Each structure stands twice: as C-alpha cells, then as structure tokens.
Amino acid sequence: MRIFMSVLTSVVSFSTIAVLATTIGCFEKPLPVEENGVRQNNDPPSSDANNTSVSDGKQPKAVLKDLEFDFGSMLVGEEMEHSFTIRNEGDAPLKLKLGHVSCQCASTQFENAEVAPGEEFSFEVSWHAMEPKELFHQTAEVETNDPENPSIRFTIKGTVARTLDLHPSGDWRLGNVSTDATEVSAGRVISLLVDEFKITEVTTDHEMITARTEPAFEDTLNNLNAKMGHEVILDLSPELPYGPFQATVKLVTDLNDNATVSVNVFGVKSRPILLVALQGTRFIPSTQTIHLGAFPADSGKSAKLSVFVRDMKEPFEITEVTTEPEFIKATATMDEAFVGTKSQRYEVLVEVPPDSPKVSLLRDDPGSIMIKTNHPKQPELNLRIEMISQ
C-alpha cells in the first residue's frame, strides 16, 4: 500500500512493505507518552484505531525502532527510501490507521492495518527530490489503539542540493573594474556533494573577455561548506571599451552527462576620466547620461559635474567641445585648489540658455556632448543629454 504526498514540487510516498509474522531483532523500550512525537494520552485523536473492546485486561503495546530519519544531502532528481517499523509487544491486536500528514495527499491506499501480538508492521517512506531545498521536513501520524501511544508521529528530513552551485548565486556583479585591470576574479563553481570534479571547458560570448578556472582555496571551500570548487577568472582585453560590459560564461565539467553551468557576469570598466554629479544634477554613470528633466524653455536649465582625470603625467587639456543641439553649451574649468597624487579635477558646466528652442530629447533620441581631450587612454568623452524644454 502506498501513500503519495506532495509539497510544492517535491513528492513524499508512504508504502507498506510487509507485515512480518515473526520476531526479528531487538527493539527499544516503548517511548514515553509525552515526548518524541508521541501524543499524550489525555488528548487522543478521534479514530476507530483508538477504540478497543478488550475486556480481559489484555492491551496492545506499540514499540518503535525509530521515529525520525534524516536522508542527509540529496541530489535534485534523486529518490531515497526508508522503512519505519511498529512492533506489537502487547497481548492484544494492535490496530493502525493513517492519521494527519503534513502535506496534501494526492492518493492514499494505506488506511488501516492490524498487527497481531509478537508481530510487526513496516511501511516505506520515499522522498523524490524535485528541486533544491535547504531543508525539507515532513511528518505523518499513525493512530493506534495502544492506550499509551494513541498517535505516533514519523518524520523524514534532509536537504536537496544541485550537483553544482554558483557562488555568489544568481548573476555575478563585479561593480567597477580598474582601468588597468587585465584579470578579475568573478566567482566560483562549487559542489556540496561531490568530492572531486574538473572543469573541462570554459567559454564566453564576449570577444574581448575570456575565462579560465583555478582550484578554489581550502579556506574558501570550508567557509562555503563545499567539498570541491573552482575559481572563475576573467581575462580582460586592453581593448575592452570603458563603461558597462556583460558576458555569459559557460563551464563544462567531467560529471555525469558533462554537467554544465552558465552565469551572466556584469561589470563596469572604470574610465580614466571619471564624472561625478554635483548637488542638484542627475547623472547616470552607466550610460553617461545627464538628465535635465522638464523645464520652461524661457528659463533654461544647467547642470554641473566634477571631472576627475587619472593616469595623466602632463596637464589635462580639453581640445574641442561639440554639442547637439548646438544651443547647448558645455565649458570646463580646472580646479586649481584640488590636490591629488594621481589625478586632476575639473568642473564641467552644461547649460541650456534661456529662450532656447523647445525640444524633447528623450532616451531613444537624446542630445549629445562630445569632448575631445589630450588623454592617451580616453581621447573622447561622450555624454548623453535627456530633457524636455517647453
């Protein structure tokens, strides 16, 4: 007889294995009524299994080998089984009936059983791991006519893990990457279950970014409770453009069916010319966009940015400024008071003069400012302008 129970996408099934007619092995003493999952006698469930008409003083006596089983770590898609046994060491028949279960039943066939004195009843519990789960914990109660143990709760628990996991989980976001960086540690591929695995192939979909792996440090694995892992390192081409970049990294392993994992990596290659919005200015660094918002055309609008110039041995110069539309003005002034060991500071003022033409410069068709410089690593600085003058 089998009971199928499901929680979300995981499946538990209870099935009767056998009613054994002979005594086998030794069992523990009956459990105290008030602990270990056995309901107290003063609060029995209402069930036919509790009704007994023994008139000669004879009573059943349920003795349990175990009440709980821990499946430990399981792989997604794996199914494991465990048998629970109830032995009748009384001198009257022990009646059993399935009671409350902690998950919804799809179907049930194990409803009642009767165990003669000296015999035992076993039923099987199986857990089908359908998705990763940090902890699963399910219970099923079996009601009895034993006055000492009117209801017995059986428990199964464990964890469900993928063969391979990514750390960090989800997308890998690197943040700002140094202008001169040629490599960066992006993340790691680990296993909580497998003692050893190899990365047989690493590819990316970005022509200026390649990837390779190295064995993870033991301390890193210990901190992650992982048995094995590999660090994923990105090699960045010097020609990788400044600003945001994205790449998908695919890793093939030597595990069953060449188990493969993929991860999206996001980062921003820092520019040698860094723009920072001053108070009252809205600036989006990832797209180099100045948002002026909506304003009356007869009033005009302005915005200010701090410009930090790095990796320049000689004085930084702006050689040309071009704007579109042409009525937008942009000027740069050096901050003589700024003291920096490896950088210089300028202030850029962007102006839409009063009484300029009414325009809508939106995301799909923005205005622009192109600033040409003498910086060897960033000879051009291109800004977007979004605004509505009305």
DSSP calls for 316-353 = P-EEEEEEESTT-EEEEEE-TT---SSEEEEEEEEEE-
Bigger pLDDT: 313 vs 189 = 189
Cα angle 383, 384, 390 (rounded to 5 degrees) comes to 135
Bigger pLDDT: 305 vs 133 = 305
H or E element at residue 221: helix 218-223
Once rounded to an integer, what is the mean pLDDT over residues 111-120?
Answer: 90
Measured CA to CA, the distance from residue 276 to residue 279 in angstroms comes to 10
Measured CA to CA, the distance from residue 364 to residue 297 in angstroms comes to 21
Model confidence, pTM: 0.53
Measured CA to CA, the distance from residue 192 to residue 160 in angstroms comes to 10
pLDDT at 221: 94
Highest mean pLDDT among 52-61, 227-236, 237-246, 372-381: 227-236
Q: Which domains does the chain have, with CATH numbers?
A: 2-161 (2.60.40.10), 165-269 (2.60.40.60), 273-389 (2.60.40.10)
Once rounded to an integer, what is the mean pLDDT over residues 163-178?
Answer: 91
Share of the chain above pLDDT 90, in %: 51
Measured CA to CA, the distance from residue 196 to residue 205 in angstroms comes to 27
Residues paired with 69 in a beta bridge: 156
Q: Residue 84 corresponds to which tokens in the numbers above?
A: 């629970």
pLDDT at 291: 96
Q: Residue 277 corresponds to which tokens in the numbers above?
A: 């919005």
Measured CA to CA, the distance from residue 6 to residue 271 in angstroms comes to 54
Whether 265 and 174 have beta carbons less than 8 Å apart is answered as yes
pLDDT at 50: 57
Sign of the C-alpha dihedral, residues 37, 42, 45, 48? Answer: positive
297-326 b/e (C-beta count within 10 Å ≥ 16 → b): beebbebbbbbbbbebeeebebeeeebeee
Measured CA to CA, the distance from residue 204 to residue 213 in angstroms comes to 13
Q: Which of 40-49, 93-102, 330-339 has the weakest average pLDDT?
A: 40-49
The gap from C-alpha 117 to its chain's centroid, in whole angstroms, comes to 52
